[in-house]
Amino acid sequence: MDAEWAMTGLIMVPLAAAIVVYVTATRFVAAWGVAVAMLQTGLTFSLTRSILQSGPVQVPLGGWEAPLGIPLYADGISALMLIMTTLVGVTSTCYAAAYFSSLQRDPRRSSSQPSIQTFWPLWLILWSALNALFLSADVFNLYVTLELITISAVALIGLAGKAQALVAAIRYLFAALMGSLFYLLGVALLYSTYGTVSWHLLAETVQPDVLTWCAASLMIIGLLLKTALFPLHFWLPAAHANAPAPVSGLLSGLVLKASFFVILRLWFYVFHPVMPASAGWMLSVLGSAAILWGSIQAIRQQRVKLMIAYSTVAQVGYLFLVFGLACEPMGMLAWRGAAYLAFAHASAKAAAFMVAGSLMYMVGSDHLDRWEGIGRREPKLIFTLALAGVSLMGLPPSAGFIAKWLLLNAAIGHGRWEVAAVIVLGGLLAAVYVFRIIGVSLSSAVPMPEVAPVPRMMRWAPLVLAMAVIVGGIVTTEPIRLLEIGAPPIAAREVAP
Amino acid sequence: MTYPTLYAICGVVLFGIGFYGTVFCRHLIRKVMAVNLMGAGVFLVMIALAARTPSGAPDPIPHAMVLTGIVVAVSATALMLALIRRLHHQTGLTELPDQMEH
């Protein structure tokens, strides 16, 4: 009973709050956001505890069973994704509250800046849609939640209001809508073949025939476009870099993970008996290309937010290595590694974007030349960036290290030395761009710059997130045990060619 | 070939035309129309396949999905138009600039 309430609440609480703050246009809108964040923490905790104790939970909404009703389903990986969303969501909420209230108080900034009244309803709807996606038990619901996520995310980028941000938002919206329609066409084909949209039932009945293969390809291509896997990443850097400070972290941390989660679900829970191993291997090759291309582009950028956005292109590549490595006997390692990396990257990347947002707020620009010496003025922020960087590079002790270590072990266990080499090389390249930012900002060649003061919460929120990444590298037995619950039957998979 | 199959093939062709338009048309309003054409193609496929039941009575579930899909398409179109209008108001652009201005 507890778990059912928690699952419904995770979706309904932010949705209801979004409607209330939009309709009443209350002045205490940030307080509503913080209240939702506290409730979400409690609900996530209670759901996770119940899954750890009694396994996966399925809830038919309103008592209507599938195929008529809309069921919700939560297993270990959904719980991990919900924890990720709550962690990034709560810190981003605090960060955004401080960011917008200081914008309002400062008359010089408020004219050109996004309005606080439009940020909160959009973010709360995004939060609700993310939770709904992680709890969905049918492929059509996944489509609806993906669209809700897209629409609210694009509107959040558009809040920045500048022409650059609008261009980025429009380009992202077209890419994401195309992706959704490819996915929906795949859903239509699946339904016409099997007469169900529940992925549990599909998993039992799926057959290796041409129509299924077409449906799977359409769905996965659409989702790759939304997840920005190289070479479909063209929309990502501008969209993530030009979004307002509290939004960039949400986009890189959470929105991309949503479509990745759908791919993970479909691939390992539904299609894995019928997909040829070469298809998985192809995704891994694209992932490797993304790691190298994204890292090199990140090193070449002059603007810090673009650098962090290209780093996201690279880290998304790591996530896709799992599809080529998920076969006997090391498949479980790769699967755990990818799921844990989604969590690690979300927290580290959101922290990095928050730090960049705070420093940009102080300096008025994110051009790296303007950041010279700023680290001596703001050591805490640069320390936070370094902690997040440790995870992005994959150094111990951090959640990123654990995840990449699992992937590396899987690659070596399969004798895939080229993949292992890419994993290590990607870490080295990440070190180049992280140290470049830290090096410039700690430079003592210039006098200590004069900067605008930043609200205290804009220092603390990213630090909390970065500490969580480090804790995730030390406390690992609980998350790994969580991932065992409802894990897909990878052991039954044949070896790749 | 049965009628539903014919309609389904038409839907796939519409989807393809829409896809071509979304990728290759330059004018933003054309792109909006092309995305909607892709959506119409998918909806046509869903409606056509709903007629292929053994009993001959149409299956209501794809119809419900199409209704949901139309709601999503309307909201997405509204958002596209709002963003395009704002961009045009600020810069006078009717096309996305070629090179990625970061």
Q: Is residue B102 part of a domain?
A: no
> Which of A317-331, A468-482, B1-15 has the least mean pLDDT?
A317-331
* Residue at B86 is within a domain: yes
Structure tokens at A75: 């297993």
Give the torsion sign (CA, A404, A409, A412, A416). Answer: negative
pLDDT at A496 over 80: no
The stretch A462-487 carries a mean pLDDT of 91
CA distances from A283 to A184, A222, A263, A391 (A): 21, 14, 11, 23
A25 touches chain B (CB under 8 A): no
> Is residue B78 included in any domain, yes or no?
yes
Domain CATH code at residue B64: 1.10.287.3510
Nearest residue on chain A to B75, judged by CA atoms? Answer: A151
pLDDT at A111 over 60: no
Does B35 contact A174 at a Cβ distance shorter than 8 Å? yes
The reply to whether A155 touches chain B by the CB within 8 Å rule is yes
Taking CB atoms and an 8 Å cut-off, how many pairs form between chains A and B? Answer: 98
Q: Residue A228: pLDDT above 50?
A: yes
Please indicate, yes or no, if residue B56 is contained in any of the structural domains: yes
Pairing between β-strand A57-60 and β-strand A71-74 as defined by DSSP bridges: antiparallel
pLDDT digit string, tens, across residues A256-276? 999 999 999 999 999 988 888
Chain B contact for A201 (CB, 8 A cutoff): no
Average pLDDT, integer, range B28-50: 94
- Cα separation, A467 vs A301, whole angstroms: 27
Task: Kindly state the average pLDDT of the residues A31-56.
Answer: 92
User: Quick check: A140 and B22 CB within 8 A?
Assistant: no
Give the Cβ contact number of residue B30 at 10 Å: 15
User: What is d(CA A383, CA A381) in angstroms, rounded to the nearest whole number?
Assistant: 5
* Confidence check: pLDDT of B100 > 60: no
- Which among B68, B65, B9, B73 has a CA at the least distance from the CA of B40? B73
What values do phi and psi take at A57, rounded to 5? -120, 135
Q: Does the beta carbon of A169 lie under 8 angstroms from any beta carbon of chain B?
A: yes
DSSP output for B17-76: HHHHHHHH--BHHHHHHHHHHHHHHHHHHHHHHHT--TTSSPPHHHHHHHHHHHHHHHHH
* Rounded Cα distance, A11 and A73, in Å: 13
**B71 in the Ramachandran plot: left (φ > 0), alpha (ψ -120 to 50) or beta?**
alpha
Which amino acid makes up residue B21?
A: G
Residue numbers of the domain that contains B32: 3-91
| Set of chain A residues whose Cβ sits within 8 Å of the Cβ of B97 | 167
The band of A407, judged by pLDDT with boundaries at 50, 70 and 90, is very high
Q: What are phi and psi of B45, to 5 degrees?
A: -60, -45
Give, for B90, the enclosing helix (H) or strand (E): helix B60-91
Number of domains in chain B: 1
CB contact under 8 A, B22 and A174: yes
Structure confidence by residue, pLDDT tens digits, A3-31 = 888 999 999 999 999 999 999 877 788 88
Candidate from A181, A192, A197 with C-beta closest to B49? A192
Residues of B in contact with A140 (CB under 8 A): 65, 68
Q: Is residue B54 part of a domain?
A: yes
**pLDDT tens by residue, A181-198:** 999 999 999 998 898 888
Domain locations along chain A: 283-497
* Partner residue facing A170 (CB), from B19, B62, B84: B84
Residue A490 has pLDDT above 90, yes or no: no
| Any domain includes B100 | no
Please give, one letter per residue, the 3-state secondary structure of chain A.
Answer: CHHHHHHHHHHHHHHHHHHHHHHHCCCCHHHHHHHHHHHHHHHHHHHHHHHHHHCCEEEEHHHCCCCCCCEEEECHHHHHHHHHHHHHHHHHHHHHHHHHHHHHHCHHHHCCCCCHHHHHHHHHHHHHHHHHHHCECEHHHHHHHHHHHHHHHHHHHHCCCCHHHHHHHHHHHHHHHHHHHHHHHHHHHHHHHHCCCEHHHHHHHCCCCHHHHHHHHHHHHHHHHHHCCCCCCCCHHHHHHHCCHHHHHHHHHHHHHHHHHHHHHHHHHHHCCCCCHHHHHHHHHHHHHHHHHHHHHHHHCCEHHHHHHHHHHHHHHHHHCHHHHCCCCCHHHHHHHHHHHHHHHHHHHHHHHHHHHHHHHHHCCCEHHHHCCHHHHCHHHHHHHHHHHHHHHCCCCCHHHHHHHHHHHHHHHCCCHHHHHHHHHHHHHHHHHHHHHHHHHCCCCCCCCCCCCCCCHHHHHHHHHHHHHHHHHHCCHHHHHHHHCCCCCHHHCCCCC
Q: Which residue of B has its CA nearest to A169?
A: B83
Cα A99 off chain centre by: 22
**pLDDT reading at A351 higher than 70:** yes
Shortest alpha-carbon distance between residue B29 and chain A (Å)? 12
* Residue A495 confidence (pLDDT) above 50: no
Tokens of A121: 């309803």
pLDDT at res. A74 = 93
B60 lies in some domain: yes
Hey, how many other C-beta atoms are within 10 angstroms of the C-beta on A4?
Answer: 17
Chain-chain contact of B96 with A170 (C-beta, under 8 angstroms): yes
pLDDT at A167 over 90: yes
The shortest C-alpha distance from B62 to chain A (Å) reads 8
Residue A232 sits at the chain B interface (C-beta within 8 Å): no
Tell whether A313 is within 8 A of chain B (Cβ).
no
* Contact flag B83-A191 (C-beta cutoff 8 Å): no
Residue of B nearest to A196 (CA): B61
Q: Which of B35, B45, B79 sits opposite A155 (nearest CB)?
A: B79
**Is B96 part of any domain?**
no
